[in-house]
């Protein structure tokens, strides 16, 4: 039994307008009231952050953003700064999601800058990493994961330390939105690899504290077996986070 608090995080992606987000946030507040054993987070689209943040204020549900820019402000049309996210009520920010990497050209170098900026601003980053199907089938999973860790945490590596609030999310690209979940054994193998890397790179005491979430077609019927694995500390949920009937049972997995 480890001391890491489980976390279930919902990434709403480009879904739900302000009214829909508010209705959903209110439903979640009601239906997850009393859940104290697990941290819960939702990441609505930017337009709904402030309204959802006001609704969740004082509750146990954390508010996260799905992305941000590393600069504090200026001529960056279409971008959002770390302090703007804080201003909207966010405590967390998802960085390096595979959709950001594959559809919007985010590189490890950019993610490294975002990670440093988030920490400096006081936001808790949820750093996503994961291999594609081609990389897995080519036997390159661990090499890809290690490279993503090394390059997207370059700034932290230079300092030789990392705050234990940082959250990692292992999301095999082939399992995102595809209905294909990594087996609990496949996920554990990579989570264990990541924790060992953290132990080697920083220190084993710190590695034991870092939460590593799994993401990729998590559903009510596979969450428990994933959470039973030693190094899986929670889930980053996409599709199934958009409906109370699927997200609430995932949040309450420990009670089923
Ligand atoms: C995600 O986008 O982070 C994700 C895991 O999506 P899904 O749960 O839909 O696979």
Q: Is 66 in the pocket of ligand 1 (CB under 6 A)?
A: no
Residue that the structure tokens 């804080």 belong to: 86
Q: Could you give the angle at the alpha carbon of 173 between the alpha carbons of 195 and 101, nearest 5°?
A: 95
Residue 1 lies in a domain: no
- The strand pairing partners of 212, in sequence order, are 168
The tokens 């750093």 sit on which residue? 127
**Three-class DSSP category at 94:** strand
Q: Ligand 1 centre from 189 Cα, in Å? A: 19
Query: Whose alpha carbon is nearest atom 8 of ligand 1?
Result: 238
Please tell me the distance from the alpha carbon of residue 2 to that of residue 224, in angstroms, as a whole number.
16
Residue 161 in domain: yes
What H or E segment, with its residue span, contains residue 8? strand 7-11
| Interaxial angle between packed helices 18-31 and 46-56, expressed in degrees from 0 to 180 and rounded to the nearest 10 | 30
Number of structural domains, the chain? Answer: 1
Average pLDDT for runs of 10 along the chain of length 256: 91 98 98 95 98 96 98 98 98 98 97 98 98 96 98 97 97 91 95 98 97 97 97 98 98 90
- Which atom of ligand 1 has the smallest separation from the CA of 178? 10
Residue 71 annotated to the active site:
no
Angle among Cα 146, 80, 234 to the nearest 5 degrees reads: 45
Would you say the CB of residue 181 lies under 6 angstroms from ligand 1? no
Residue 149 lies in a domain: yes
196: domain CATH number is 3.20.20.70
Residue 151 tokens read as: 């390059």
Task: Tell me, yes or no, whether 2 lies in a domain.
Answer: no
CB of residue 241 inside a 6 A radius of ligand 1: no
**Assigned domain for 73 exists:** yes
Global confidence as pTM: 0.97
Please report whether residue 143 resides in a domain. Answer: yes
**Residue 65: is it exposed, middle or buried by C-beta count within 10 angstroms (0-12/13-18/19+)?**
buried
Torsion sign across C-alpha atoms 81, 167, 102, 178:
negative
> What is the span of the domain harbouring residue 208?
7-255
Residue 79 is a catalytic residue: no
What is the pLDDT at residue 1?
61
Residue 186's pLDDT is 97
Query: From the CB of 148, is ligand 1 less than 6 Å away?
Result: no
Tell me if 189 is assigned to some domain. Answer: yes
**Distance between CA atoms of residues 139 and 136, nearest Å:** 5
């Amino acid at each position: 039994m480890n001391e890491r608090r489980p976390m279930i995080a919902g990434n709403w992606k480009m879904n739900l307008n302000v009214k829909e987000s508010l209705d959903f946030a209110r439903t979640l507040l009601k239906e997850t009231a009393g859940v104290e054993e697990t941290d819960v987070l939702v990441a609505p689209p930017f337009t709904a952050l402030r309204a959802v943040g006001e609704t969740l204020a004082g509750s146990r549900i954390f508010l996260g953003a799905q992305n941000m820019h590393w600069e504090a402000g200026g001529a960056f049309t279409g971008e959002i700064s770390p302090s703007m996210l804080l201003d909207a009520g966010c405590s967390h920010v998802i960085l390096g999601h595979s959709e950001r990497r594959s559809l919007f050209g985010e590189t490890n170098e950019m993610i490294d800058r975002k990670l440093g900026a988030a920490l400096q601003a006081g936001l808790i980053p949820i750093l996503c990493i994961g291999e594609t199907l081609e990389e897995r089938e080519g036997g390159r999973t661990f090499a890809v994961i290690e490279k993503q860790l090394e390059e997207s945490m370059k700034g932290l590596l230079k300092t030789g330390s990392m705050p234990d609030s940082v959250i990692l999310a292992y999301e095999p690209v082939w399992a995102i939105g595809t209905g294909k979940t990594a087996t609990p054994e496949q996920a554990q193998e990579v989570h264990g690899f990541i924790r060992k890397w953290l132990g080697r790179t920083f220190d084993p005491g710190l590695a034991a504290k870092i939460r590593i979430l799994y993401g990729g077609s998590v559903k009510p019927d596979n969450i428990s077996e994933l959470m039973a694995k030693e190094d899986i500390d929670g889930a980053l949920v996409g599709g199934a986070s958009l409906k109370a009937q699927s997200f609430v049972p995932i949040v309450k997995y420990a009670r089923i």
